[in-house]
Structure 1
Amino acid sequence: MKLVNIGYGNMMLANRIVAVVSPDSAPIKRLVQEGKERSMCVDATNGRRTRAVIITDSDHVILCAVQPETIAARINNEGDCDEDKEVIPE
């Protein structure tokens, strides 16, 4: 069970992630809107601009304020790519 930091203290299970995409394209905007209408959208941006959209295996849509490349690097254990670094004791 691996937790991934998706920004500003928010964590999620890495094995539940299906895709990490940019929110700029029209199909992703429609997907986010549909998620909001179905109450399946989680806003984890803490009031900041949405920079990544995570799609989960349960069809939840998670909005993040961290770049998709940063999240992908964290999933692949390449370390944190921005200043939002935290050490979590085991």
Structure 2
Amino acid sequence: MNDKPTNIGFGNIVPGERIISIVHADSAPTKRIVQESKERKMCIDATNGRKTRSIILMDSNHVVLSAIHLRRSAIVLAMNKENI
């Protein structure tokens, strides 16, 4: 598949075809997922020191922390899917 990279803010990109889900960062289950991924060393912090607003779950079991709001992340991902 020839999928465009998806911008997740501050010059950070992830392959859009590898994204399973984008979820809000403030729920308790999501915080647990982040903590577990940090313990497994599978967490990628792409916030550049800012507040984590969305969590991107990848098919490789990596968890990517993003400072971009969930709604904006979803819009960027949808735009990339349409332009293929």
With normalisation by structure 2, the TM-score equals 0.90
| Structure 2 partner of 1:52 | 54
| Structure 2 partner of 1:25 | 27
Aligned residues: 78
1:37-76 equivalences in 2 (<5 Å): 37-76=39-78
Unaligned runs of 5+ in 2: none
Letter in 2 for 1:33: Q
Residue 20 of structure 1: how far off its partner (Å): 0.3
With normalisation by structure 1, the TM-score equals 0.84
CA-based RMSD of the aligned residues comes to 1.0
Answer 1 or 2: which has greater helix percent: 2
Could you list the structure 1 runs, at least 4 aligned residues long, displaced by more than 6 angstroms after superposition: none
Unaligned runs of 5+ in 1: 79-90
Letter in 2 for 1:49: K
Higher relative contact order (CA 8 A, sep 6+): 2
Identity over aligned residues, as a percent? 50
Distance 2:69 2:24 in 1: 8
